[in-house]
Amino acid sequence: MFDEDFQETGATSGRREVDWRAIAYAALEKWWLIVICVAVTWVAVGIYLLRAERIYAATAVIKFDADTPRILGSSDLLGEDLRSDEQRKEKLKNIQFVLQSPPLLRRVVANNHLDADPRFVGSTATSPAERDRLVSKLAHSIRVVPRTGTAFIDVTVEHRNPELAAQLVNSLVEELSHMNSDAYRAASQSSSVSLIEEAQDLQRKLADRKLNETKPEWGRSEAALSTNTQHLLALPRIAIDPTVVAIRSSIAQQEVELANLRQVYLPKHPAYIQAESKLVELRQALANAALRAAQTMQVAYEDGVDREGRSIQVFQAAAIPTSPAKPRSVLLVLVSLVGSVGLGVMLVLGSELFDDSLKTLNETEGILKLPVLSTVPRLPTRTNGERIVMEDDSPMSGAEAFRALRTSLFLLDPKGKDRSFLFTSTLAGEGKTFCTVNYAVSLAHQGLRTLVIDCDLRRPVLEELIWGERKNLPGLADYLNGEELTIHKTRIQNLYFVPAGSAAANASELLARVGLQDLLKKALREFDRVVVDSAPIFGVSDTLRLVKEVDAVCLVVLAGKTPRKLATRCLQLLSRAGAPVAGIILNAVRSSLRSSYDNPYYDYGYAVEPRKRRPRVLLKAAKPDLRPNHDLAQS
């Protein structure tokens, strides 16, 4: 009758909802896993720090002039003058490129004799390939970092020798400055020579007063200057000279006046000759003004070239580092701490997300759609004879869990119609026999004559649990084979048991005989309660043949071990077999933060005055009465 519920459970169990509170409790419970991850990581980091090579970093600071004025339209080695942020960024990239370029690095290698320095190279490098390898090695040790929003650049060289690191970075920035100055001077030499020649030629022509009235064909070339006044005037700095501007304005007015006179007078008219002479004088004055401006510009140009050559300066030389830059011990320890804690948390989350077992009461009831009759706490490891916790007066013995189980089953049937109970599990080793015996003892303590029958004929352990060892006493298998039934009495008042008996190869066939049904009916006439310990559901079909013969079936689930799908499938099989499933017994629940709010296991022992505990002894069965119980057999 539970098929529909089980089908819903099966449909929803595939979509597991993440219980973050349970995961948080799991992380607190499995703190040891996080501690192990941290310890292992720190040991590995410690070994690495002890064995890692110490690397020292020496840093020099260079400053570049971002506002160098252009002179004669020339450009420097690293780019033209910077008029915008884009040009500034471009120049920074150029400087970074030059600092790691092979030509500059070859000069550093040669000036510092790195090819023969044992601190930098193990053996002397003689071949070109070996020198190129030195250049590549030096390039990999250089780090260039611009300071955002400033004209400063940090240049760092890393090496295991602190003195050599400082020496290399200082040599690198000095060579960069020298290289930049040399490039400026080489670029300006041709322009300077041309400007001087043009100025001298113009001065000679002015002295000879051989200026032509008509304009010659003047070309425009930015690489060299023409030998006439108009080409000098094409230079922006000469064209904007105040004297040149004033004379050119006067020339324009005089040319207009001369054009008007041409329409009125002939060329030999005195007014025409006077106007023409004045125009010639103005042109000669313009040539003289252009020459003076060119000479002034030459002086400024030479000064500008010298300043451009110093556009990259060493602002701060590198000092010899006193402490290694690598490995970064503090940073490495902090990162390893965060990483190891994160790894431990991930392992905990992974174990929780991939763990398909039933662990808590709410989880079990939500998945299986059945009530949890009792949660049995996980108890310390005991010997076989001490597994009957109902005989232990200790407050933490777990006996209260079986009293709660007894109460739960009673509340399901207050009128007492349910007198026979069957305990089973999904697989072996989940504690069904342990729960069977302790529940039977709890009934016996209540004054009910209780009979425990071991129906697990394949792997019987009931006799060993009660007797302390396997005695191969006659029992159920012998009765089903036609022999008389022997019921054994224990030292516990009102508690009797029937062991599995002799080994049976055909257990399923024996349990299918009608004799077992008669046995249960006759037992209920002589005893108040009958508790059956059956075989697990999976692997064998023995239990499914018995479930219809009892009044209630209890499924034992091992907390943290029994898979959800397996338990769900087990209940489906019981439902199809017509089993009156009463509920679930959650066995071996760990005492943890998660179970403290999820599992209502309550120990009443804290409110009871401590009693003198009896010595723990094996729960010995009474001397077996091998005589048949004629009253039960014949009734």
Summarize pLDDT for 35-86 with one digit per residue, the tens.
999 999 999 999 998 988 899 999 999 887 755 444 444 444 444 444 557 7
Peptide bond connecting 118 to the previous residue in cis, omega within 30 degrees of 0: no
C-beta separation of 464 from 384 below 8 A: yes
What tokens appear for 606 in the block?
């804290």
Q: What is the pLDDT of residue 44?
A: 92
Q: What is the pLDDT of residue 577?
A: 92
- Regarding predicted confidence, which is higher, 37 or 213? 37
- Give the residue among 203, 615, 173 at the shortest CA–CA distance from 391: 615
pLDDT-based confidence at residue 622 (cuts at 50, 70, 90): very low
Q: What is the pLDDT of residue 242?
A: 81
Q: State which H helix or E strand residue 420 sits in.
A: strand 420-425
pLDDT-based confidence at residue 434 (cuts at 50, 70, 90): very high
**Average pLDDT score over residue span 355-375:** 90
Distance set, CA 168 to CA 57, 105, 174, 406, 607 (Å) = 11, 10, 10, 86, 80
C-beta separation of 542 from 534 below 8 A: yes
Mean pLDDT of the chain: 77
Task: Tell me, rounded to whole angstroms, the distance of Cα 171 from its chain centroid.
Answer: 42
Give residue for tokens 């690489």: 223
Least reliable range by pLDDT among 546-560, 589-603, 615-629? 615-629
Highest averaged pLDDT of the listed ranges 191-195, 222-226, 324-328? 324-328
Strand partners, 146: 153
Q: Please tell me the pTM assigned to this model.
A: 0.58
Distance set, CA 6 to CA 368, 412, 585, 624 (Å) = 7, 21, 18, 45
Question: What whole-number percentage of the chain has pLDDT above 90?
Answer: 25
Summarize pLDDT for 217-252 with one digit per residue, the tens.
333 333 333 345 666 666 666 777 788 788 888 888
What tokens appear for 75 in the block?
């450009």
Q: What is the pLDDT of residue 299?
A: 60
* C-alpha span between 379 and 77 (Å, rounded): 83
- Kindly report the backbone phi and psi dihedral angles of residue 14, in degrees, each rounded to the nearest multiple of 5, phi listed first: -70, -25
Summarize pLDDT for 113-165 with one digit per residue, the tens.
888 888 887 666 667 788 788 888 888 989 998 888 788 899 999 988 999 98
**Average pLDDT score over residue span 477-500:** 89
Q: What is the pLDDT of residue 185?
A: 65
C-beta separation of 552 from 412 below 8 A: yes
**What single DSSP character describes residue 318?**
P
- Give the residue among 573, 531, 498 at the shortest CA–CA distance from 422: 531
| Ordered strands of the 312-316 beta sheet | 142-146, 152-159, 56-64, 312-316
C-beta separation of 384 from 468 below 8 A: yes
* C-alpha span between 347 and 341 (Å, rounded): 10
* C-alpha span between 347 and 360 (Å, rounded): 20
Residues 6+ apart with CB under 8 A from 465: 384, 385, 387, 388, 433, 434, 437
C-beta separation of 598 from 365 below 8 A: no
Q: What is the pLDDT of residue 370?
A: 95
- Regarding predicted confidence, which is higher, 616 or 207? 207
3-state helix, strand, coil in the chain (%, to 5): 50, 10, 35
What are the CB-based long-range contacts (under 8 Å, 24+) for 356-359?
356/563, 356/564, 356/565, 357/559, 357/560, 357/561, 357/562, 357/563, 357/564, 358/557, 358/559, 358/560, 358/562, 358/563, 358/564, 358/567, 358/586, 359/559, 359/560, 359/589, 359/594
C-beta separation of 520 from 550 below 8 A: yes
- Give the residue among 71, 66, 95 at the shortest CA–CA distance from 83: 66
Q: State which H helix or E strand residue 195 sits in.
A: helix 162-208
- What residue ranges define each of the domains in the chain, with the CATH number in brackets? 20-51+327-352 (no CATH), 191-301 (no CATH), 371-385+401-597 (3.40.50.300)
**Measured at the alpha carbon of residue 452, what is the angle toward residues 450 and 455, in degrees to the nearest 5?**
155
Distance set, CA 294 to CA 26, 204, 243, 421 (Å) = 87, 14, 13, 120
What tokens appear for 153 in the block?
């650049």
**What single DSSP character describes residue 317?**
P
First to last CA, the chain: 35
* C-alpha span between 402 and 232 (Å, rounded): 114
Distance set, CA 249 to CA 202, 282, 605 (Å) = 21, 10, 117
Q: What is the pLDDT of residue 147?
A: 86
* C-alpha span between 551 and 403 (Å, rounded): 19
**Average pLDDT score over residue span 162-169:** 91
| Ordered strands of the 450-454 beta sheet | 372-377, 581-589, 552-558, 420-425, 529-533, 450-454, 495-498, 488-489
The residue length of the chain stands at 635
The radius of gyration computed from the CA coordinates of the chain, to the nearest angstrom, equals 52
Q: Which amino acid is at 527?
A: F
**Measured at the alpha carbon of residue 367, what is the angle toward residues 365 and 373, in degrees to the nearest 5?**
25
- Kindly report the backbone phi and psi dihedral angles of residue 554, in degrees, each rounded to the nearest multiple of 5, phi listed first: -115, 130
Q: What is the pLDDT of residue 307?
A: 52
Its sign, for the CA torsion 589, 593, 597, 601, is: positive
pLDDT at 323 over 70: yes
pLDDT-based confidence at residue 201 (cuts at 50, 70, 90): low
- Give the residue among 376, 528, 326, 551 at the shortest CA–CA distance from 445: 528
pLDDT at 532 over 80: yes
